[in-house]
Amino acid sequence: MTAQTAFARQFGFARSDVTIENWRTAPYNRWSFQNVGELVPTSEIAAPTDAPEAPAGDLGALLDETVATDAGSESIAAFLERTHTDAFVALKGGKVVGEYNAPHMTPGGRHIIFSISKSLTAILAGALQADDLLDPAAPVTKYIPEAAGTAFADATVQHVLDMTTTIDFEELYLDPESAFARYRRSTLWNPNTNGADSEKLLAFLMTIGKGAGEHGEVFRYRSPNSDLLGIIVERASGLRYADLMVERLWGPLGARRGGRITVDGQGSGRAAGGISVTARDLARVGEMMRNGGVHEGRRILPEGWVKDTATGGDREAWKKGDFAFLMPNGSYRNKWYQTGFEGEPYCGIGIHGQWLYVDPANEAVLVKMSSQPLPVDDELDKQNLVLFQTVAKLL
């Protein structure tokens, strides 16, 4: 059997079928979400250790349990398959209960986490804040002077962290003629139509005008905030994004495998959604947060920052915002979602079904990496939240 034949049997299509035009669409995303670096330029987030992972426990008993959602009752195994799950990891009290991998998912392989990248970028901001290198109350222009005259001119870093800026921009994932498509071209996520003169990420961000209202009033999910935060933490630290991630998170966390982040034509990292990591290493991030910023006795983040991130946020701004339908009693702080559920679980969420769910009350951390066909699927999001609540109580 040739390599090409083996590939086609595993994924149902040829490698040559996957292009920069279709890498985020089904069925090609089953492969591309594990191999983004073959399609978009990336920078390595080096791992501090090559120690092997501990063997995963058997999830069999858990997968046989039932989860009941608006779609009906089914086994957890059937739910994972139906919702296009590539990898699922469950931790209880810091121990890996078990791991599920779809037939096309490489066990221990990297997978893009899309907007959970925002949550990791906020961790970098929190670490810099603890060292007095970043002031969340400062204006954006303190770190990015060229933002004067843009939507961000009178915004603070905290507005950017909480996505309460008001900017003239819409997240239109499927509209090829929108400003969002231009945004993606600037990150090299979409085909480059202008050659070497293609607009770069920072240049695009500096063209965004202010929307209606004032900053700080309404939660508006707008990804350019998070790419801007990536540039802010670079300016505040004096380090490139990937190097800062290694120094402040990946190294102290003892990550087992290097991550990657997509970059634009100038090497600017896609802090809003370009990170790829393993499910186990992402679970380590969640466990560190569950432990109040500590990993194996080493403090990575101040306990107060973690508590504020896990329980803070402006609930009134949330209720006026984009996602109140998903978590009516929720809020958003430092690029993490507070669910408003019993026990105050919180999470990072990425398009196409990426989740990092932290439930301190049940000592649970859950990671779900997926290749959902649609970038946003409101019904699946609601069902996934029911899954996490169910599993956290079963562990």
Predicted local confidence at residue 1, as pLDDT: 67
CA distance 302 to 237: 18
Q: Sketch out the chain's domains with CATH numbers.
A: 1-32 (no CATH), 33-394 (3.40.710.10)
DSSP-assigned beta bridge partners for residue 43: 261
Q: Are 343 and 370 in contact (CB under 8 A)?
A: no
Q: How would you label 268-297 residue by residue, b for 16+ Cβ within 10 Å and e otherwise?
A: bbbbbbbbbbbbbbbbbbbbbbbbbbbbee
**For position 47, what pLDDT does the model report?**
93
Is residue 110 within 8 Å of 278, Cβ to Cβ?
yes
Q: For residues 335 and 319, is the Cβ–Cβ distance under 8 A?
A: no
What's the average pLDDT block by block, 10 residues per block, for the chain (395 residues)? 81 94 97 97 91 84 96 96 98 95 94 98 98 98 96 97 95 80 92 74 94 94 96 98 98 96 95 98 98 96 98 95 94 98 97 98 98 96 98 97
SS (H, E, C) the chain: CCHHHHHHHHHCCCHHHCCCCCCCCCCCHHHHCCCHHHCCCEEEECCCCCCCCCCCCCCHHHHHCEEEECCEEEEHHHHHHHCCEEEEEEEECCEEEEEEECCCCCCCCEEECCCHHHHHHHHHHHHHHHCCCCCCCCEHHHCCHHHCCCCCCCCEHHHHHHCCCCECCCCCCCCCCCHHHHHHHHCCCCCCCCHHHCCCHHHHHCCCCECCCCCCCCCCCCCHHHHHHHHHHHHHHCCCHHHHHHHHHHHHHCCCCCEEEEECCCCCECCCCCEEEEHHHHHHHHHHHHCCCEECCEECCCHHHHHHHHHCCCHHHHHCCCCCCCCCCCEEECCEEECCCCCCCEEEEECCCEEEEEEHHHCEEEEEEECCCCCCCHHHHHHHHHHHHHHHHHC
Of 42, 103, 58, 99, residue with least CA distance to 241: 42
Cα–Cα distances in angstroms (integers) from residue 126 to residues 94, 150, 312, in the given order: 22, 25, 14
**Tokens standing for 147?**
């933002």
Strand partners, 294: 299
Give 238's contacts (C-beta < 8 A, 6+ positions apart).
Answer: none
299 strand-pairing partners: 294
pLDDT value at residue 62: 95
Return the active site residues: 115
